[in-house]
Amino acid sequence: MPIRTPVVLSPSRAELGARCHRRHFLEDVADRRKFKSPSAAFGNVIHKGAAAWWLTGNPSEAMEAAVNEWKRVRPSGDKHSVEMAEFLMRSYPNHAKMAVNMPGVWEIVEVEKRYMLTIGSKVFSFQMDRLLTNTSRDLLTVDTKTSAYISAKWHEQWNFSLQQKLYRYGLRKLVENKTLPAARNLYTSIEGVEKKMPFKMEPHLCPNWDDEVLEEAVRLWEWVAEEDESLLMIGVSEAVKRHGKEYTDEQLREAVEEAGVKYTLFNYQDCRSYGMDCPFKTLCVEAPSQRLGILWNEFDVAPVEGY
Ligand code: SF4
């Protein structure tokens, strides 16, 4: 069912919503997908393996977790293979450092734990791959990212990442509301894993964004969440107008999806990002009145885990 109120929005979904709100709304709110991105599915495989490694310290358990996830998601296409996943998981325990390139002794606070924070009438939901602390009471998040190619400039993208700024904002809020213990410094970092042989791992510590930058990031999150909510409300009022208050789930879905294809902004800048056509291109090139039929014909309702 597309209606989820209050709106729950994660950093990665906010980032997609800031790039193209239509794509985010159809994919993340209406759960319409042609297929699951093979890169995202493969990323899940490595995430599961890495999480098992940090939780157990046992390479066999890390391998088993990754292979089980491979069997569950089976990334489509020929760019990913179970052999590649096994190679990365054999290498990861030998190369991964708990706290990427931070000095000192760190220990794990949480692995893959999801937190929810209420912001206004919306819910900010975020999950950190690893949350670490040290004896100086610093807190550090580590986000594992798999990539086809890690260039010398690969790390620069993270300095502009809405997702990473929102992790830092969330961390700050968890300390302020005492969900997490008082901390001296908050850090956000990435560990990049290249999907190639030989094994290559690239650590990156994100900039020390100040509060103003984080507030700006959360305003963008709020904008995406408000756009989501207003489209959902258009859908609800349209469903009531057409069917009365006793509308069915399917009638509500139809009204919400119609709002999604008609009243979202067309963002020409993102239709071919990362060198791939956006899956919704066939729909966006047609007139608004034609799009709902294309959505129903070409896209399944396929919810994914997380928010
Ligand atoms: S084709 Fe372009 S405008 Fe349409 S949803 Fe995709 S990115 Fe947005």
Half-sphere exposure of 273 (CA within 13 A, CB side): 10
pLDDT surpassing 80 at residue 4: no
pLDDT surpassing 90 at residue 77: no
Q: Lowest-confidence range among 108-117, 158-167, 192-201, 266-275?
A: 266-275
* Residue 276: per-residue pLDDT: 80
Bridge partners, 113 (sequence order): 128
Residue 121 backbone phi and psi in degrees, to 5 = -100, 10
Q: How remote is the CA of residue 306 from the centroid of ligand 1, in Å?
A: 22
* Residue 305: per-residue pLDDT: 64
Q: Which CATH number fits domain 106-213: 3.40.1350, 3.30.310, 2.60.120, 3.40.50?
A: 3.40.1350
Angle, CA 160 vertex, CA 265 and CA 269 arms, to 5°? 30
pLDDT in tens, 114-162: 999 999 999 999 999 999 999 999 999 999 999 988 888 888 888 889 9
Contact (CB, 8 A) for 251 and 235: no
pLDDT surpassing 60 at residue 1: no
Q: How remote is the CA of residue 248 from the centroid of ligand 1, in Å?
A: 29
Mean of the per-residue pLDDT values of the chain = 91
Q: Is 261 in the pocket of ligand 1 (CB under 6 A)?
A: no
Q: In terms of residues, how long is the chain?
A: 307
Protein residue with least CA distance to atom 1, ligand 1: 281
Q: Is 137 in the pocket of ligand 1 (CB under 6 A)?
A: no
How far apart are the C-alpha atoms of 161 and 256, rounded to whole Å?
Answer: 29
pLDDT surpassing 80 at residue 251: yes
Q: How remote is the CA of residue 173 from the centroid of ligand 1, in Å?
A: 33
Ligand 1: which of 16, 19, 22, 273 to mutate, judged by most atoms within 8 Å of the beta carbon? Answer: 22
Residue 187 backbone phi and psi in degrees, to 5 = -130, 150
* Residue 75: per-residue pLDDT: 85
Q: Lowest-confidence range among 56-65, 72-81, 190-199?
A: 72-81
Ligand 1, closest atom to CA 265? 3
Residues of the chain with CATH 3.40.1350: 106-213
Q: Is 125 in the pocket of ligand 1 (CB under 6 A)?
A: no
The token pair at 293 is 């039929």
